[in-house]
Amino acid sequence: MQPCHRRVIKLCKEIRMSELTDAAPDHTGRNGAIRAAIGLLQGVALYFLFTAAQDKTWPATAPALFAPLCTAAIFVPLIAVSGLSHLRLRDLVIWSVAVALISFGLAWHDIDRDPVIASLTSTSTPRNLPAAHLWLGLSAGLFIAHSLIVAAASEHRRIASYPSYFATAWKLGLQLALAVLFTGLFWGVLWLGAELFKLIKISFFAETLRKSWFWIPATTVALTCALHVTDVRAGIVRGVRTVVCNLLAWLLPLLTLIAAGFVVALPFTGLAPLWDTKRAAAILLIAAASLVFLLNAAVQDGTRLAPRDATPPLPRLLRGAIIAASLVLLPLVALAGYAIALRVGQYGWSPSRVIATACTLIAACYVIGYVAAALRLRAPLPVLAATNVATSFVILASLVALLTPLADPARIAVADQIARLTAGSVAPNKIDYLFLRFGAGRYGIESLQALAAQPQTQPVAAQNAAEALEKRTRWAATPPQPPISNATRAANITVAQPPGASLPREFLETVWSKEQRFYLLPRCLVAADTCDAVLVDLDGDGIAEIILQPRAGPVGVFHSIDNHAWSFLGTLVGSACAGVRDALIAGRFKIAEPELKDLDLGGQRLRLTPSADCMSGPISIKKN
């Protein structure tokens, strides 16, 4: 009796799910008309907003209102269309209002935190649309939240069963993908028709397609109609989902093998090559996210992982790949977290590191749950399912924190930069003032204003902050500074080789600001900065050339004619390789003939400039 009872319960659930996913015939036409009307209203709203932006009229002239209106006009209709046949009217209205409030609040904050567009000109342009990170974050958050709500509503429970969550999320994702594909094909057909009419000198069709009053509503109506068709034909979507998941599942063993091979190779290669890439954390997190995605495509709703009745079990290869992928996630995420911690310890927080830390926290949630599930060989599904559901809420909480002042990446980065400066752990010249001016919104502007008001306690930082505030764009040249004196230039430069040597007076008196390649000169020649100098005769004329090595940037070489007029020759190729600067200062070098000679073309000498790939490794300074 017990197996029969379970089958009855399962059948009832399937019937209930079918009722909620496949609209009844008498409701199909009504829901389709409502969805088309919503799409049309959305198109009309977006048309008026677009026209206001083009004509620079209200509400486009009020960015704090225009951005929230645009955000709500995009997301609220999509939520209403998607939830129409799955949520009760009262629940749908409440959820739509909540989405509108969320869209308004997040868009308003995004404009408030950074109200100006970065421009190549000196004119400050107010920003009236949210930044890309808000569109991406809000889209991901609403997708997850809507899937959770619809799945729970389908079972009349606050927390639905895992198969319901899986089916709802994948159905919604495939609906959106198919709707976007249909809309693209829809416009392809329209443009093909326009080109056909243009062949017979009828351009009205093509001109109509370019009119905003047509293409905006046409796009929204096509999108909502596609969402409706994929919703009422849920069986088609389920079939597509099955095919897609089965295909993706067989990529899991391949990626797992690659990731496992990477982990096994680490003890032999060491971590140094990993850190040298400067992007190890990003690649590791992408690999971890890919493993999580493919693992869930293989598990699907879990019925094949814990087969009952006539459900075919997972192939042994896929089952083994699921367990191996769950375990190999641990070192990948641990290395990503360690890489981020190293960068934060060296350079402090930046917006990208804050976001990467949030991604690592989310990945760690998956790792904890998946490793625990892998250790339960006989019944991994309950732990894996609980992990996915719980991590969905962690993702939502992380997005809320990142998109609000609570954990705004720019706010955290600015606060950390100023704290490091105040504590003396970073020199004033090492602060990224351009980031504070143009990359951190109002948080950075306010911090620069505070620094500029402290010339007594932070003189260098105050001067740099004031210069940054004067810039109108990130790419603007630094305001011209008065030329430095010969004495200041001499104090800027320390002669490292040969010991006890000094710079020629004619070199110090040269007006370097008139140099044609001024941008390549070491800053110590024209501003308050420091350099190390190496005097060595490179051309054998008995007069030593001067090699200037700044704290950062290319190493410059200077030549003299009869030790009077000095000119800038160029830069040393390969000077950025590890160990080069220390070797020059220590005098551990020798003059070598060029490996390849020049080409003489009627008096014009052509020289080979080798690529500085630093493949020979760092230069070591051997002691005598």
Which of 170, 203, 153 has its CA nearest to residue 20? 153
63 shares a domain with 31: yes
Domain boundary among 228, 249, 270: 249
| 147 domain-assigned | yes
Question: Buried b vs exposed e over 233-250: b needs ≥16 C-beta within 10 Å?
Answer: ebeebbebbeeebeeebe
How far is the C-alpha of 268 from the C-alpha of 369, rounded, in Å? 29
Better-scored residue on pLDDT, 47 or 514: 47
Q: Are strands 125-126 and 116-117 parallel, antiparallel or unpaired?
A: antiparallel
Residue range 582-596: average pLDDT?
Answer: 83
* Mean residue pLDDT across the chain: 87
546 shares a domain with 450: no
Overall number of domains in the chain = 3
Residue range 47-61: average pLDDT?
Answer: 95
Which pLDDT does position 170 carry in this prediction?
Answer: 96
Which pLDDT does position 11 carry in this prediction?
Answer: 38
553 shares a domain with 430: no
55 shares a domain with 147: yes
Residue 205 pLDDT grade (very low, low, confident, very high; cuts 50, 70, 90):
very high
190 shares a domain with 70: yes
Residue 305 pLDDT grade (very low, low, confident, very high; cuts 50, 70, 90):
confident
Better-scored residue on pLDDT, 23 or 284: 284
Residue 199 pLDDT grade (very low, low, confident, very high; cuts 50, 70, 90):
very high
568 shares a domain with 509: yes
| 126 domain-assigned | yes
Per-residue pLDDT tens over the stretch 78-111: 999 999 989 999 999 999 999 999 999 999 999 9
Sheet of 493-497: strands edge to edge?
493-497, 531-536, 545-550, 556-561, 565-571
Which pLDDT does position 5 carry in this prediction?
Answer: 46
Report DSSP letters for 137-173, one per residue: HHHHHHHHHHHHHHHHHHTTSSS--HHHHHHHHHHHH
User: Residue 566 is inside which H or E element, if any?
Assistant: strand 565-571
| 540 domain-assigned | yes
| 362 domain-assigned | no
Which of 75, 84, 242 has its CA nearest to residue 170? 242
Which pLDDT does position 117 carry in this prediction?
Answer: 76
185 shares a domain with 130: yes
Residue range 249-274: average pLDDT?
Answer: 95
Task: List CB contacts of 385: < 8 A, sequence separation 6 or more.
Answer: 162, 302
Q: How many residues does the chain have?
A: 624
587 shares a domain with 442: no
Per-residue pLDDT tens over the stretch 358-387: 999 999 999 999 999 999 877 788 999 999
Residue range 186-201: average pLDDT?
Answer: 95
Per-residue pLDDT tens over the stretch 345-355: 999 999 999 99
| 393 domain-assigned | no
| 38 domain-assigned | yes
Domain boundary among 224, 249, 274: 249
Task: List CB contacts of 139: < 8 A, sequence separation 6 or more.
Answer: 75
Question: What pTM was estimated for this model as a whole?
Answer: 0.75
Task: List CB contacts of 483: < 8 A, sequence separation 6 or more.
Answer: 511, 513, 526
Asked whether residue 399 carries a pLDDT value surpassing 80, the answer given is: yes
| 195 domain-assigned | yes
Omega before residue 315 within 30° of 0, cis: no
| 73: containing domain | 23-249
Residue range 172-178: average pLDDT?
Answer: 96
| 286 domain-assigned | no
587 shares a domain with 548: yes
469 token code pair: 């505030």
Which pLDDT does position 12 carry in this prediction?
Answer: 45
Which pLDDT does position 200 carry in this prediction?
Answer: 92
210 shares a domain with 104: yes
239 shares a domain with 153: yes
Q: What does residue 570 show for φ and ψ, rounded to 5 degrees?
A: 160, -160
221 shares a domain with 124: yes
Half-sphere exposure of 511 (CA within 13 A, CB side): 3
Which of 500, 517, 515, 528 has its CA nearest to residue 566? 515
Asked whether residue 123 carries a pLDDT value surpassing 80, the answer given is: no
> Which amino acid makes up residue 243?
V
